[in-house]
Amino acid sequence: MDEYKEIIEELKMKRDELEGRLNRVEKSLRKTHDKDSEEQAIERAHEEVVEGLEEGIRRELDQGFLLVDLKMIDDVS
């Protein structure tokens, strides 16, 4: 298992980085909208971009966990 220690640490660091980004994205999505309708339209367009980022981060996190799970299965076999 020592041979995987470095890989596991890298994955943990990547996970922490992605979770931090995800927290910032979620915080951005919780912001209230401006009262001006034109400004609201711009904010909603930005939200679509942020939601896309959120989806990408979640996919990347899921993929990382899947890779770890697959590696553990290989080790047991």
pLDDT (0 to 100) of residue 21: 86
pLDDT (0 to 100) of residue 68: 66
Averaged pLDDT score across all residues of the chain = 78
Tens digits of per-residue pLDDT, 59-77?
888 877 766 665 665 565 4
d(CA 48, CA 42): 10
Q: What is the enclosing helix (H) or strand (E) of 4?
A: none
Tens digits of per-residue pLDDT, 50-61?
888 888 888 888
Q: What is the DSSP letter of 1?
A: -
